[in-house]
Structure 1
Amino acid sequence: MIIDLPSTTTSKVNKKLVDLRESGGAVALGRVLTLVIVTDEVTGTEEAIEAANLASREHPARVIVVAKGAREAAPRLDAQIRVGGDAGASEVIVLRLYGELVDEGAGAVVPLLLPDAPIVVWWPTDAPEVPAKDPIGALAHRRITDSAAEDDPIATLQTRVRSYVEGDTDLAWTRLTSWRAVLAAALDLPPYERVTAAAVSGAADSPSTDLLAAWLSTYLEIPVRRVDQPRIDGMYSAVLERPSGAVELVRPDGKVGTLTQPGQPERRVALQRREVRDCLTEELRRLDPDEIYQFTLEGLPGVVHESATQAASATQAATGQQEAAAKQSDTDSAATREEQA
């Protein structure tokens, strides 16, 4: 059921919600949180609502969509209430703001918040530079952004380092959950050696690749090379160097990864590129600060991009040094045997 309320007020929207509940029980009260989605009226609104509806099957919520319209228009609030099959397991309230009301999103949201329920704010695109200082973001326990959806993902990710406040997170980080789980599990298998160096490769504009490099560098306390791969979307590979051989996780097709390491059979791992709805569902499972994400951000300034050509040259140079060292070792051993003879 979709109910349109053109040129309305938040008090009228609230009254309509109460009427729906009293007349037919169309709007249930079993909501665990309020999810506020801040988006542009023209692009991304329906996609964000669809993702929220799917996530609501695990996290029933009141979803409030603040869709910012044209600033040049006359001040007006158009509302829409969606319940039943049009709202998943949630109730969806779409607020379309025009004119001077575009900057009054927080004032429109406050009267519609569920009492005594956590508040999560999600910007599918165009998040503020400092989410915690945004009028709507300041209301929230958790603030979800997506640097991959910005015009300049890498630059946006760098601003997250400076603007981080407890409760912030980024869906570019959430997309790494499977990668981090596979790599951590691989290091739990023999031979239990320390990782000495690592390389992570992916698209040049992939913020998830930067975050994986920062995560490995921060928690393993090792140098990590970040390699830009041409003609690749998102993450491509992660290589962890150990004395007995490398642990390699490669996903060439964006769907299935291959894990190889010395002394273990080659494994195929499901690494399907995650949908926004799956990432959103995962983030709604927790309302406490993500300390691992925070520490990863602190290591992000140390991530340096290099091209695939530079990486290949570095690998060849390292291989040459290893071969030279091996030859020198053989020569020294031969000389020692001659002296002993």
Structure 2
Amino acid sequence: MIGLWDTTGNEVVKALAAERRSAGGVASGMALTLIVVVDEKRVREAEAAATIAAAAHPCRLLVVVRADVERERNRLDAEIVVGGRLGPCEAVVTRMYGRLALHAESVVMPLLVPDVPVVTWWHGEPAAEIATDFLGVVADRRITDTAQAADPIEALRQRARDYAPGDTDLAWTRITPWRTLVAGAFDTTDARVTEARVVAPPTDPTAALMCGWLGSRLGITPRWEPSDASPRMREVQLSCANGEVLSLTREDSLATFRRTGQDDRQLPLVRRPLGDELAEELRRLDADQVYAEALGAVAGISGLDERPAQRVHVWKDPATAKRAEAGVTAHAGTSATP
């Protein structure tokens, strides 16, 4: 590992090139560039997940930690790891302080691997508008996690309002095993589904997306039955026109599949590590139309996949907004003075 403290972007580029030459074959064959936007307290967690994903998708990992944007003096610290503790990838962990944190692209852009896709992952509460972050605008794929928002269901609706082809969310990734098992139940029947019921906590974004997926695929309005008995989605039940009822109920890491007239079956349904969820999203680098339709069904917005894929950067300076807010407060205080 190479540590550079109070350095410059140019020095980081030079140090990475030198470390790549030293590593030799370990640093070849990059499939993509993965940009991770994360807070300092969750860096190790993000690194652990990216290490698992990099084992399946060799990449250049660029971790961006922004801090103290109001600091008067700009500072850039960086760690460079090639083929070390973060697995078979090239990794640059950058910590940006002061106004530099608002222009992270000035450091990140020269570090992108040429001619390969760029994926940006926000490991934390998703931004309200991705276009205000240039690291999202430059990416071919953008991964958020609405489960980390204060209000996950409203965050999903915001993701729909702000959607552009190439966006996805880890709440969607987490229902892949559910969707696989539910879809597999129809390999032996073509019965039409007339009703659907989802049992889950009232703030579970995976349940919302499951309802959206069932609604967009089957042309029905699923019923969400709130339940606090489990912290995660517990059951999906489908009623068919021929009288059959199919249900999938999770208990810990197993699911019980029930079907009218058949014996119950036990199926694996485990909660995967964050790194496995990330690796799944890195398998596809095109727009996910099925996710767009499910998300649109959640928010009641159609045609999400028909929007332009290219985002246009919208500059947003939090310091300006804060000064404006302070000015309004001061004006109100002056007006209230007798």
Pairs within 5 Å for 1:40-119: 40-41=39-40, 43-73=41-71, 74-119=73-118
Asked whether 1:230 is paired with 2:221, we answer: no
- Residue 168 of structure 2: aligned partner: 169
Deviation, 1:87, is 1.8
Mapped to 1, the partners of 2:81 and 2:23 lie a distance apart of: 14
Deviation, 1:132, is 4.1
Is the 2:30–2:59 contact (alpha carbons within 8 Å) kept by the matching residues of 1?
Answer: yes
Deviation, 1:27, is 5.3
Mapped to 1, the partners of 2:12 and 2:119 lie a distance apart of: 21
Mapped to 2, the partners of 1:64 and 1:274 lie a distance apart of: 24
Deviation, 1:184, is 0.7
TM-aligned CA distance change 1:11 to 1:27, over 3 Å: farther
Is the 1:239–1:248 contact (alpha carbons within 8 Å) kept by the matching residues of 2?
Answer: yes
Deviation, 1:26, is 7.4
Pairs within 5 Å for 1:7-46: 7-25=6-24, 28-41=27-40, 43-46=41-44
* Secondary structure of 1:25's aligned partner: helix
TM-aligned CA distance change 1:123 to 1:56, over 3 Å: same
Larger radius of gyration: 1
TM-aligned CA distance change 1:136 to 1:302, over 3 Å: closer
Mapped to 1, the partners of 2:279 and 2:23 lie a distance apart of: 29
- Residue 178 of structure 1: aligned partner: 177
Is the 1:132–1:165 contact (alpha carbons within 8 Å) kept by the matching residues of 2?
Answer: no
Supply the AA of the counterpart residue of 1:174. Answer: T
Is the 2:33–2:62 contact (alpha carbons within 8 Å) kept by the matching residues of 1?
Answer: yes
Mapped to 2, the partners of 1:3 and 1:22 lie a distance apart of: 14
Deviation, 1:84, is 2.3
- Residue 220 of structure 1: aligned partner: 218
Mapped to 2, the partners of 1:23 and 1:122 lie a distance apart of: 29
TM-aligned CA distance change 1:109 to 1:163, over 3 Å: same
Deviation, 1:126, is 2.2
- Residue 274 of structure 1: aligned partner: 272
- Residue 206 of structure 1: aligned partner: 204
- Residue 148 of structure 1: aligned partner: 147
Deviation, 1:258, is 0.4
Is the 1:246–1:262 contact (alpha carbons within 8 Å) kept by the matching residues of 2?
Answer: yes
Unaligned runs of 5+ in 2: 302-338
Deviation, 1:295, is 0.7
Q: Report the TM-score, using the length of structure 2 for normalisation.
A: 0.85
Is the 2:19–2:82 contact (alpha carbons within 8 Å) kept by the matching residues of 1?
Answer: no
Unaligned runs of 5+ in 1: 304-341
**Which segment is superposed worse, 180-189 or 206-215?**
180-189
Mapped to 2, the partners of 1:113 and 1:27 lie a distance apart of: 17
CA deviation profile, 1:170-199 (whole Å, cap 9, x unmatched): 000011111001011112224x32111110
- Residue 157 of structure 2: aligned partner: 158
Higher relative contact order (CA 8 A, sep 6+): 2
Mapped to 2, the partners of 1:88 and 1:9 lie a distance apart of: 26
C-alpha RMSD of the superposition: 1.6
Pairs within 5 Å for 1:310-329: none
Mapped to 1, the partners of 2:128 and 2:5 lie a distance apart of: 32
Deviation, 1:238, is 0.3
Mapped to 2, the partners of 1:96 and 1:67 lie a distance apart of: 5
CA deviation profile, 1:235-271 (whole Å, cap 9, x unmatched): 1100001232310100132x11100001322111111
- Provide the aligned length of Structure 1 versus Structure 2: 299
Is the 2:27–2:83 contact (alpha carbons within 8 Å) kept by the matching residues of 1?
Answer: no
Where do 4+ consecutive residues of structure 1 move more than 6 Å? Answer: none
Is the 1:17–1:27 contact (alpha carbons within 8 Å) kept by the matching residues of 2?
Answer: no
Is the 1:214–1:302 contact (alpha carbons within 8 Å) kept by the matching residues of 2?
Answer: no
* Alignment counterpart, residue 241 of structure 1, candidates 239, 242, 246: 239
The percentage of aligned residue pairs carrying the same residue is 41
TM-aligned CA distance change 1:116 to 1:25, over 3 Å: same
Mapped to 1, the partners of 2:69 and 2:133 lie a distance apart of: 18
TM-aligned CA distance change 1:83 to 1:265, over 3 Å: same
